[in-house]
Amino acid sequence: MTKRALAIVLVIATSFVSFGCNKSTTDTLLPDQKTLLISFDGFRYDYLNKVDTPHFDSLVAGGVQSEGLIPVFPSKTFPNHYSIATGLYPENTGFIGNTMYDPKWDEWYRIRDREAVENGKWYGGEPIWNTLEKQGVRTGTMFWVGSEADIQDMYPTYWKPYDADMRLRARIDTVIKWMTMPAGKDVDFATLYYSYVDTKGHRYGIQSDSLKNAIRLSDELVGYLKMRMKEKGIWGKTNILIVSDHGMVNQAADKIISLDKIIKMNDVERVLWGPMTMIQPAEEKSEKVYQALKAAENNYKVYKKEELPERYHLKNHRRVEDIVMVADLGYTILDEDYKQQFLNSLPRATHGYDNKNKEMQALFLARGPAFKTGSTVAAFQNIHIYELINHLMGTTPAQNDGAIDSVRVLLN
């Protein structure tokens, strides 16, 4: 019996209880199905309407698309990619931002700090590649948040450290090589990741020709992927999920909140900047800082950590600072000393805002033997994708916040 078949038998024979989710079922699965998860970072839910996208359109016609993919809050890259991988909210993964401070360890995590990025201690929960590997399913990750780290002292069977300069088609070629190696070495689950749509959106804005060209390039890559998979005979037996982590909204020079005009900066120990700004007041200054922010509350909302809305699923982790500001859509919180520098190099668009805003929703579409064809479904939360992949692979999920019933509408 192959490892793949053994994993399916074990799943059928094993009961599973988790919080907020149901056991994946295997009644529609075929033993030789593969799954490919692809992320186009910063690809907003409505970007396919901006230009002609014949290859995306072909996938939609032969598969299923949602009206949006709802990110976790904050609507940032690392928290969302890792929540997709684990099915957990940020307060359960510990990923509460692209940059974060851990008071227990007195250490910082920054996305450009390779030592931190590759250190598994920062990553809570169990990512999908670990779940599958534990059950005998080989995996390969061509860039995904967490896949470079020794989470649970494990790695995927094949993985690559992130290299922004790796050629776009070469990423596809490498993944297809992994998926079509001789039996016993090939992978049944793989990931792909591209960042350039996000980069062009930030730099030039969501109405720019540069962004439209990035969307066209994404479409060309989808066409290339289809061609290569057909050449290798795996197109018809692969379930392909194309996702993004968040949407995007334009910024403006007149939508600035100067934090140091509201509070005295020597009353705070730390500020983690962004559309969601976290503030750690100096000792015994917490109430003073909060009351000043509350009195000036305009174009933002301010919360004490313990009063954060439950729907954020954020407050129950030590890495969240004592006071949290959430800017209104399109507004930027910054220090007055940095204002001119910010204006001189004004990013044209950004994200990180309240995930209830439609503008923060991302792309989701899927096609393959497990999925409906020619269907459109309502937007759903990205935490359910972990459960969905386990269903497709016939494996038992680890504890997570998602539910297969929330995405069963996608399936045949």
- Give per-residue pLDDT as tens, 305-342: 999 999 999 999 999 999 999 999 999 999 988 777 77
Domain at 3-250+356-410, CATH homologous superfamily: Alkaline Phosphatase, subunit A (3.40.720.10)
Task: Identify whether 332 is a catalytic site residue.
Answer: no
- Beta strand extents in 69-199 (DSSP E only): 69-70, 99-102, 107-110, 139-142, 158-159, 189-194
**Which pLDDT belongs to residue 343?**
74
How high does pLDDT run on average in the chain? Answer: 92
**Which pLDDT belongs to residue 199?**
96
CA distance 242 to 275: 26
User: Cα dihedral angle (50, 54, 57, 59), rounded to 10 degrees?
Assistant: -140
> Exactly one of 35, 77, 99, 191 is catalytic; which is it?
77
Stated length of the chain = 412
State whether the Cα torsion 190-154-198-354 is positive or negative: positive
* Model pTM score: 0.92
Whether 256-346 and 3-250+356-410 are alike in CATH topology: the answer is no
**Which pLDDT belongs to residue 30?**
52
Beta strand 64-66 pairing with 375-377 = parallel
CA distance 292 to 263: 6
- Domain map of the chain by residue range? 3-250+356-410, 256-346
**Which pLDDT belongs to residue 16?**
32
Tell me the DSSP string of 206-225: TTSHHHHHHHHHHHHHHHHH
Residue 294, C-beta contacts closer than 8 angstroms, at least 6 positions apart: 302
Q: 256-346 domain in CATH 3.30.1360.180?
A: yes
**Which pLDDT belongs to residue 342?**
77
Q: What is the mean pLDDT of residues 101-125?
A: 97
15: pLDDT strictly greater than 50? no
67: pLDDT strictly greater than 50? yes
12: pLDDT strictly greater than 70? no
CA distance 408 to 412: 8
**Which pLDDT belongs to residue 9?**
38
Taking only the tens place, the pLDDT of each residue in 185-195 is: 999 999 999 99
